[in-house]
Structures are given as C-alpha cells and as structure tokens.
Copies of this chain bind each other. A is one copy, B any other.
C-alpha cells in the first residue's frame, strides 16, 4: 500500500529490535553495541535503505532557531510575551523553542545547556526567581551566542534587555485610587527580594506621598496570590478601620481580595476600590470588572526579539541596549465610584454655590 521504500521500521522488524535502536545504530550512537551496529548496517545495505529527508537533515546543525527561557508558562503575561516573540520570529524565518525553568535555578541551567547544545542562534531569557548566580549566562555570552533578557533581567552581564516600568505602573495605580477618593490604601506586595516587588512598592510609596496620604510600612503587606489575598482581606475587614482601597501586585491577588469583599457584603468600588496589575484575561471576567495596569507583554516580546535579530544581523559589536516599556492604567468598574457629596459641599454655608 505505501510503496516499496524501505524504512527503519522494516529493518527493525527484520532484526526484532526497536526502530530507535536501528536509528541510533545507523548514527553510530555510543549506547549501541558493535554487534548490533554491524547487523543493522549490513541489512540496511542489503535492503538498499535510503534515509529520508528528515533523517538527512539530522546531519546538519540547528539553524534559524531561537531559544526562549520562560519562568512559568501558565502566566498570562509570559504567554503574551511568547506570542509577540513567535509572531516576529516566524515572519523573519526563525523557529522558536521554549524551555520552562519553573522558577528553579537548577532547571534554568539545564535549559540553557539544552538550548545551546541544540545550537540555537540566540536566546531570550527571563530569569527564574531562585537565580542569584549568573555564571551560566556569562559562559554562553562568551561563546558568542547573544542573549536578550526581558522582564526579569540579569544586571551582572551587559546585554540587550527589555524591562517594564513597574514603579511607574504602580504609581499610576495608586494615584488613580487616590483620585477617586480613597484615603486608606493598602498594597498587597510581592516578595521584596524580587525586583518587581521592590519597584511596585516604590511606586506605591511615591503615589501615597504625592497625594499626602499617610501610610506606614505595615500597609505594604506581603501577599501575592489569590488564596492569600482572600484570607488577608477577610482579616482586614474584621478590623476597626479597614482600607477603602487595595492595590494588588497582580490580577489574581486583586481578584482574591474582591471575592472576600463581596462575600462580606461590601460594595466594590464604593466601599473598597481595587486595582490589579497585568491586565490578564481574568480582568474583564470578574464582576465588577477589574481596573489594572497593562504591561504590554506582546509588545515586550516583539521588542525583545527585534533586539536579538538586530544583534544577529550586525557585522560589528555595539553597546548593550536597554528598552524600558511604559505601562498603561486600564480603568474598569472596580474603581468607578459614584461621586459622594462631600460634607463640605452639602453644608448650608455653601448652599449658595450654583450647580450649572
């Protein structure tokens, strides 16, 4: 039925061994015994076996391929970055292969070795949360394979990088909460040993100061997951003087807080307004929809790969480029408060003011 071309499977069947053994024997793989190699090669000759196109391409090295290391694929932000990278890569005739470090230093080192020994032309990397030693990256850069870092970058090596203006994003979020009348704004923050944790907390402090809102360091609460935010908010709402605004370090944390507020019978945004960070696909699915900071993951991916392609095309070395990506506040229902009539404006002494 399938024509008479001899395949590796035919050789395997004849010798009662597996096709992968035949394949490795033909490639002179060290795991295969000399005896098997002789048998396979003799039969291949006898049957006039011709390796097909893909088998032949095995003899060439990898090329036109870029490697991508992602901490956690499950996050909407990172999957947007992947889309941006892939769209530009395919248009430029490159393929992209992805490894997930799963936030582990050990896996990141293995990922890097795998990609480099697969002979990728260049690398795009966001560093794992665990990584504090960057020698593995230094070695790769020394071999002449360019790396562009994005989002979580490595400050010890001078390479091209794309970073998000997290402090400014956080500032916009908290400034917005202040502008809709929130007086006691808490920040659910990521670990302060992470750059994004520190930068977003910095933006929070700046906006509080600019708006003359009093705050203490206790109002920056280490809490960056849905479950943590739900419990934390339940506890805060039992206190005498609960917050009237929450700025969460990511959307899932914001959604955990919203669920606790709704379950306590309070109104979002009029009792407590909430802002997240990411603008993931969750943000429009909640009720009320979530005001959040758009990080432009897709654009970050596009900019990162364009830096890498420029580096690959260049015939001379040039200084490392850092691109800072601005964020945008996306205002939705979770901060659209009904304007409350202030005591001052409704007092008799001011009743002469005209409402036009």
Contact = CB atoms under 8 A, between A and B. Distances in A.
A17 B287 CA distance: 57
A348 interface: no
B65 A118 contact: yes
- Give the interface residue-count category, chain A: 35 or more
B98 A143 contact: no
A20 B56 CA distance: 26
Among A27, A86, A119, A317, max chain B CB count under 10 A is at A317
Contacts of A255: 285
Contacts of A256: 285
A145 B9 CA distance: 10
Interface string A12-26: 110011111111100
B116 A317 contact: no
A52 interface: yes
A281 to B, nearest CB: 8
Given A95-B114, A100-B86, A23 B74 contact: no
Interface in A256-296: 256, 259, 262-263, 281-282, 285-287
A240 interface: no
A117 B58 contact: yes
B97 A97 contact: yes
A311 B19 CA distance: 10
A306 interface: no
Contacts of A327: none
Contact of A315 (B21, B53, B99, B140): B21
A82 interface: yes
B95 A98 contact: no
A113 interface: yes
A144 B100 contact: no
B18 A317 contact: yes
Nearest to A25: B144
Contacts of A17: 315-317
Interface in A1-36: 7-9, 12-13, 16-24, 27
A55 interface: yes
Among A19, A76, A86, max chain B CB count under 10 A is at A19
A345 interface: no
Given A62-B117, A118-B118, A8 B317 contact: no
A146 B20 contact: yes
A314 B18 contact: yes
Nearest to A259: B287
Contacts of A259: 285, 287
Nearest to A87: B102
B139 A19 contact: no
Given A110-B95, A314-B18, A100 B118 contact: no
Contact of A142 (B8, B62, B312): B8
A285 B86 CA distance: 31
Interface in A89-127: 90, 95-100, 102, 107, 110-111, 113-119, 121-122
A117 B60 contact: yes
A79 interface: yes
A317 B23 CA distance: 13
A57 interface: yes
Given A9-B141, A57-B113, A255-B285, 9 more contacts: A18-B311, A20-B122, A58-B119, A62-B117, A73-B82, A95-B99, A96-B99, A262-B287, A282-B282
